[in-house]
Structure 1
Amino acid sequence: MVKWLSRKLAQQVSTIVLMVGMLASPTLARDPFRTSNPRAISDRTEAAFRAIFEKGNYTEATRILNQGDPNEPLSFALKGLLAYNNYQGETDQGRKQALLSEFRGYATQTRTVAQQLAKSDPLRGNLYQAAGIILEAGYTAATEGTVRGIPQILGSLQEAFRYLDAAEKIDPKDPELNLIKGLIDLTLSTTLNLPLSSPTDAIARLQNTAQPRYVADRGLAIGYRDLKQFDRALQAVDNALRAAPDNPELSYLKAQILVRSQRHGESIPLFQKALTKRDQLPPVTVRQIERELRNAQQRAAQR
């Protein structure tokens, strides 16, 4: 149960770290979320963002983030995501604990910098404070266990929602806000079965105002998959793949949807395609794809 909850919280972590609100020089500004009134984000941080979520290349993201921008909350959040993934895939207990401590440090830094950011940009500052809180909830899940940890985790999620609600009051149509909140709501309502959000509202956010589309469509595909609406899930993941065809995690996601649709034979080439880029994925993800591929091959052989 603890490992399961940690994995699901890791999904929320990977959702939250999509938040952008940079303190970088406007001359280097690029905003993948907004076409009007863009916020500033440094070339380096944007490259790390795209390496993870557009390319599915965690190796490249790690290299970029080793030269990360110390005043950008997103940089710390992305480093937290990488540390958490490495923690999940590590077998040496000493190294595992070191990675967990590293993850906690990045969670704290994300929240601390967000508090400063809120003074100049309340919307993004509130978003990043929510990010830091959810990162810290992931640390709690990994260290406290189910009985002791869940009350604190639920309290953290409620606190995070207060910051998200504060951001929404500032600009309810902000595409970054609707992407993040939509993904969180969908995860809580479909995967964790927590009564903190509505899948219908989350889907509407992702369909109508969230950007970039390849991330929103990926979120929709996961949500529809978990709601067992497989035709819609396939349509959403195909939309994401058209925009980000080189992301092995999208091929893996489509394979999962096909498996749940009992189309095991069709899923096998997609699992195999994802594994052609194993060197750029976290080890824990590679092992999971390999395991699901073997299961699909066994099921297909039985038909």
Structure 2
Amino acid sequence: MTQRVRPTVASKPVLQQLSSFRISRYLIPGNSYPIGVRIAPVKTVGILGAAIVSLSLWASPSLAKDPFRTTNARPISDRTEAAFKAFFEQGDYKAAEVYVKQADPNEPMTSAMKASLAYIDWQSNKDPQLLEQFQTYAAQTRDSAKTLLTKDPLRGNLYLAVGHFLQAGYAILKDGTVKGTPQGLGEVQQAFKYLDAAEKQDPNDPELNLVKGYIELLMALNLPFSSPTEAINRLDKHAYPRYLADRGIALGYRDLNQQTQALAAVDRALKATPDNPEVLYLKAQILVRQGNNKDGIKYFEQALKSENQLPAGLVKQIKRERDRAERGLSNVGP
């Protein structure tokens, strides 16, 4: 049986990872890891295209739906759903930025996505004001989650956990690992408390299992004596939407160096989201790890066709890895 490991003071790498975690992407996108968990941690149809799509969605509120559940759906607004899809289904940060500004301010997932965007902008120029925006949206995530508790205790507790994870990241980003660790650890412990409370409401809930699966994956890959098997099983059996679950599974197997399983999972994610540049990038990474630089370069190039919808830092990272793969290919004899 896999032992559940909680972070300790020795877990500084975990807190450093949490500082860029998206939940979830999935919270803070941009490093092949998704919350509003990254996790996870998202495109340009162009701003005009985004505006057209948004108008068509917002004109028909009945089209909005819960992106996580096919039964017992929650009342998530059309604008919030559009922002979520831009982030995670399409990998279009530019469109997500347009949608999220008009998404439901009372929905904690909205604030979590705003925190993700603020973090991504901060990564580019390290402007202290952007870091404070990140902290403001983290606090708003917790505040909206508290309001949601009475109506929906599962999602209320879940996003209280997300808010605390974001606050842990802020502490590390602002004060550094040494000074920020005590506060960060306190936030992480609070986050696990709320995750446990959410799980008591419904242990099979798809949104809960998606977020928690990414968090457990992150912990398992950074803590000794911990296995990602439980996280992969959680994502496989209970998480939804499937394209995000399969993406997390691919990340887990990639970092376990089980590239055959990773390739199968990323292919499932690509089947559902064929134009998502981040998923194309992930497949390129897996192919290169298999020693298939030639095909890996093709997928790096496919991902870069959508570079205008990606953050500048991520584009540079993809180009660096593509160039490295090209050098590796040129060093192979005939």
Change (3 A) 1:246 1:49: same
Counterpart in 1 of 2:74?
A: 39
Aligned letter for 2:275? D
Counterpart in 2 of 1:56?
A: 91
Aligned-pair identity (%): 52
Runs of 4+, deviation exceeding 3 Å:
2-9, 26-29
Task: Give the TM-score normalised by structure 2.
Answer: 0.82
Once residues 142 and 185 of structure 2 are traced to their aligned partners in structure 1, the CA distance between those partners, rounded to angstroms, is: 18
Counterpart in 1 of 2:111?
A: 76
Change (3 A) 1:202 1:3: closer
* Greater fraction helix: 1
Q: CA deviation at 1:177?
A: 0.9
Change (3 A) 1:275 1:5: farther
Q: Say whether residues 1:204 and 2:204 are aligned partners.
A: no
Task: Give the TM-score normalised by structure 1.
Answer: 0.90
Q: Say whether residues 1:286 and 2:315 are aligned partners.
A: yes
Contact 1:234 1:257 in 2 (8 A): yes
User: Which of these residues, 6, 12, 19, is aligned with residue 9 of structure 1?
Assistant: 19
Q: 5+ unaligned residues in a row in structure 2: which ranges?
A: 1-11, 28-34, 38-60
Change (3 A) 1:4 1:186: closer
Tell which deviates more after alignment, 106-115 or 60-69.
60-69
Q: CA deviation at 1:3?
A: 10
Change (3 A) 1:189 1:153: same
Q: 5+ unaligned residues in a row in structure 1: which ranges?
A: 20-25
> What are the equivalent positions in structure 2 for 1:92-241 lying under 5 Å apart?
96-190=127-221, 192-193=222-223, 198-241=227-270
Once residues 183 and 172 of structure 2 are traced to their aligned partners in structure 1, the CA distance between those partners, rounded to angstroms, is: 9
Q: CA deviation at 1:203?
A: 1.1
SS in 2 for 1:149: helix
CA RMSD of aligned residues (A): 2.2
Change (3 A) 1:87 1:194: farther
SS in 1 for 2:69: coil
Q: CA deviation at 1:73?
A: 1.0
Tell which deviates more after alignment, 209-218 or 155-164.
155-164
Contact 2:243 2:269 in 1 (8 A): yes
Change (3 A) 1:177 1:194: farther
Aligned length: 292
Q: CA deviation at 1:260?
A: 1.9
Once residues 13 and 307 of structure 2 are traced to their aligned partners in structure 1, the CA distance between those partners, rounded to angstroms, is: 23
Counterpart in 2 of 1:246?
A: 275
Counterpart in 1 of 2:326?
A: 297
